Structure 1
Amino acid sequence: MGSFRNQLNIFFSATEMLRSILLLLCWLLLWRLAVLMEYAPHASIWFPPAGLSFAAFLVMGLRAMPVLLLCSIIATFWVDNMYQSEQDWLQLANSGILFGAAHCFTYWLGASLLRSMVKSLVADVLPKAILSFLVIGSVTALTAALLGTQALAISGMIQSSEVADIWLPWWIGDLAATIVLTPLFLGLLSWRYPQIDSWLAGLDFHLQDQPLQPYLIKQGICILMLSAIMLLAYAFPYPEVSFAVFFLIIPQMWMVYTETAFRATMSLAIFSVLTAIWVALLGLMEQALVYQFAITVIAASAYFGLAVPVLAAHNKQLRKLALNDGLTQVASRMYFFERAEQEIARARRYQQPVSLILFDVDHFKQINDDYGHTAGDTALVQVAEKILTDLRQSDLFGRFGGDEFMLLLPNSDLQHATDTAERLRQTLMRIALTQTPRRLSGSFGVIEVNPQENLQQAFERVDANLLQAKRQGRNQVVSSPS
Structure 2
Amino acid sequence: MIISFLLIVATAALAATFLVITSLSLSGMMSFADVSATWLPFWIGDMAGIIILSPLFFSCIQLAYPHKCFTILKHIEGQSNQPTAQFKYKILLSSCLIIVTMLLTKFTQSMDSSFAIFFLVLPHMWIACTETAFPNILSLALSSIFIVFLIDLLALMDFVMVYQYTINVVAANAMFAMAIPALIAHNHQLVTRVSTDSLTQAASREHLIEQGKFELQQAIQHNRDFSILVYDIDYFKNINDTYGHDVGDAALKMLSEIAKALLRPTDLLGRLGGDEFVVLLPNTDKATACNIANRLLEHVNGTEFVSGEAFSASIGITQMREGDDFNSIFKRADNALYAAKKAGRNCIRLN
With the length of structure 1 as denominator, give the TM-score of the two structures.
0.66
The 1:180–1:442 alpha-carbon spacing in structure 2 relative to 1, beyond 3 Å, is same
Shift of 1:321: 1.8
Aligned to 2:257: 385
Q: Does 1:479 align with 2:328?
A: no
The 1:258–1:199 alpha-carbon spacing in structure 2 relative to 1, beyond 3 Å, is closer
Aligned to 1:115: none
Equivalent position to 2:317, from 446, 465, 471: 446
Aligned to 1:287: 159
Shift of 1:348: 2.0
| Preserved contact between residue 61 and residue 70 of structure 2 (Cα < 8 Å) | no
Give the Cα separation in 2 of the matches to 1:264 and 1:338.
39
Equivalent position to 1:268, from 130, 140, 144: 140
Shift of 1:243: 0.9
Give the Cα separation in 2 of the matches to 1:235 and 1:366.
87
Between structures 1 and 2, the one with greater helix share: 1
The 1:269–1:200 alpha-carbon spacing in structure 2 relative to 1, beyond 3 Å, is closer
Q: How does 1:404-419 map to 2 (within 5 A)?
A: 404-419=276-291
Task: Report which structure shows greater RCO (CA 8 Å, sep ≥6).
Answer: 2
Tell me which moved more, 254-263 or 202-211.
202-211
The 1:412–1:217 alpha-carbon spacing in structure 2 relative to 1, beyond 3 Å, is closer
Shift of 1:154: 4.7
Shift of 1:221: 4.2
Give the Cα separation in 1 of the matches to 2:147 and 2:262.
64
Equivalent position to 1:202, from 70, 75, 79: 75
Equivalent position to 2:336, from 460, 465, 469: 465
RMSD of equivalent CA atoms:
2.7
**Which whole-Å deviations, capped at 9, do the CAs of 1:314-354 have from their partners, x for residues lacking one?**
12112222222222222221122122112212222333322
Flag structure 2 segments of 5+ consecutive residues without an equivalent: none
The 1:210–1:306 alpha-carbon spacing in structure 2 relative to 1, beyond 3 Å, is closer
| Preserved contact between residue 59 and residue 73 of structure 2 (Cα < 8 Å) | no
The 1:157–1:193 alpha-carbon spacing in structure 2 relative to 1, beyond 3 Å, is farther
Shift of 1:247: 1.4
The 1:200–1:428 alpha-carbon spacing in structure 2 relative to 1, beyond 3 Å, is same
| Preserved contact between residue 362 and residue 440 of structure 1 (Cα < 8 Å) | yes
Aligned to 1:138: 10
Aligned length: 350
| Preserved contact between residue 269 and residue 280 of structure 2 (Cα < 8 Å) | yes
Q: Does 1:306 align with 2:211?
A: no
The 1:148–1:204 alpha-carbon spacing in structure 2 relative to 1, beyond 3 Å, is farther
- Matched residue SS, 1:389: helix
Give the Cα separation in 2 of the matches to 1:386 and 1:131.
49
Give the Cα separation in 1 of the matches to 2:70 and 2:314.
53
With the length of structure 2 as denominator, give the TM-score of the two structures.
0.89
Give the Cα separation in 2 of the matches to 1:373 and 1:285.
74
Give the Cα separation in 2 of the matches to 1:222 and 1:251.
6
Give the Cα separation in 1 of the matches to 2:216 and 2:341.
27
Aligned to 1:375: 247
The 1:274–1:350 alpha-carbon spacing in structure 2 relative to 1, beyond 3 Å, is closer
Aligned to 1:173: 45
Shift of 1:269: 1.5
Q: Does 1:363 align with 2:242?
A: no
Q: What one-letter code is carried by the residue in structure 2 that aligns with 1:462?
A: A
Q: What one-letter code is carried by the residue in structure 1 that aligns with 2:334?
A: D
- Matched residue SS, 2:309: coil
Q: How does 1:1-80 map to 2 (within 5 A)?
A: none
Give the Cα separation in 1 of the matches to 2:94 and 2:12.
30
Tell me which moved more, 297-306 or 226-235.
297-306
Shift of 1:384: 0.9
Q: What one-letter code is carried by the residue in structure 2 that aligns with 1:447?
A: T
Give the Cα separation in 2 of the matches to 1:137 and 1:459.
58
The 1:421–1:256 alpha-carbon spacing in structure 2 relative to 1, beyond 3 Å, is same
| Preserved contact between residue 203 and residue 271 of structure 2 (Cα < 8 Å) | yes
Give the Cα separation in 1 of the matches to 2:65 and 2:262.
55
After TM superposition, where is structure 1 displaced by more than 6 Å over at least 4 residues in a row?
A: 204-207
Flag structure 1 segments of 5+ consecutive residues without an equivalent: 1-128
Shift of 1:296: 1.1
Tell me which moved more, 229-238 or 244-253.
244-253
